[in-house]
Amino acid sequence: MNCYLCDQALRYVPSWRGIFLYEPPEVLCRDCRSGFLRLDATGCRLCSKPGEGMCRDCLYWEAHGYQGLIESGTSLYSYNEAMKNWFHQYKFLKDVVLAEVFARDLMVVLANEQASVMPIPLHSGKLKERSFSQVDQLLKASKIPYVQLLEKCGDTLGEKTRQQRIETQELFRLNGNPVPNSILLVDDLYTTGTTMRHAAKTLKAGGAQQIRILTLIRA
């Protein structure tokens, strides 16, 4: 087996964890894996952005009609050069197998999760264009069960400026499925927090009591 990113041959060593706990095999070489920067727990309590206290974006949302919607949040990795390269290849070049790169991380983080896990949905037009939902695929690769409660109904945010993202009016609507009390929202990339706040607001209006967030990357 070769590294998914650089094609270097991998040395596979079977382990008891892999056999009995169904732990995904390593799909990257040591050099490629070491390029990613894991975030620690000392950053913003709502998005893990490095720094002391709550970050500027989260302070904005808390002061502009979204206070307390999100109880806590975690992002796993920084958007450094290695992550940008992975993200581009996965999302835009549609290399779906790269979802396996972070399967172990998500399995560990979500191993004892009690809330209903819900990936942020793609707009139907984007789903047709890309052929797969990158967030859904991350969870599938990690063998994490999830539910879908929302439909994307607003504009896509990819081409918008930071201020345009923040000023977006409506992004989601409920899809008719029952809304559980406790939800963990999952997305691939956190930038300004617009997507997560709009999703949380719609779910709270539908009856959710506790909403936390998890993102793979914090830009």
pTM of the model: 0.90
- The model's confidence at residue 17, banded by pLDDT at 50, 70 and 90, is low
211 vs 213: CA distance, rounded Å: 7
For residue range 50-60, list pLDDT tens digits in order: 998 999 999 99
Query: Residue 147's pLDDT is what?
Result: 98
Q: Name the residue ranges covered by the structural domains of the chain.
A: 1-34, 39-218
Look at residue 158 and tell me whether its pLDDT is greater than 80: no
For residue range 173-210, list pLDDT tens digits in order: 999 999 999 999 999 999 999 999 999 999 999 999 99
Query: Residue 105's pLDDT is what?
Result: 97
Percent of the chain scoring above 70 in pLDDT: 88
Strands 116-119 and 172-174 turn out to be: unpaired
Q: With 0-12 CB in 10 A as exposed, 13-18 as middle and 19+ as buried, what is 102?
A: buried
80 vs 117: CA distance, rounded Å: 26
Query: Residue 28's pLDDT is what?
Result: 97
Higher pLDDT pick, 21 / 10: 10
Look at residue 160 and tell me whether its pLDDT is greater than 70: no
Q: What fold is seen in the domain 39-218?
A: Rossmann fold (3.40.50)
Query: Residue 140's pLDDT is what?
Result: 97
- The model's confidence at residue 3, banded by pLDDT at 50, 70 and 90, is very high
For residue range 95-148, list pLDDT tens digits in order: 999 999 999 999 999 999 999 999 999 988 888 888 899 999 999 999 999 999
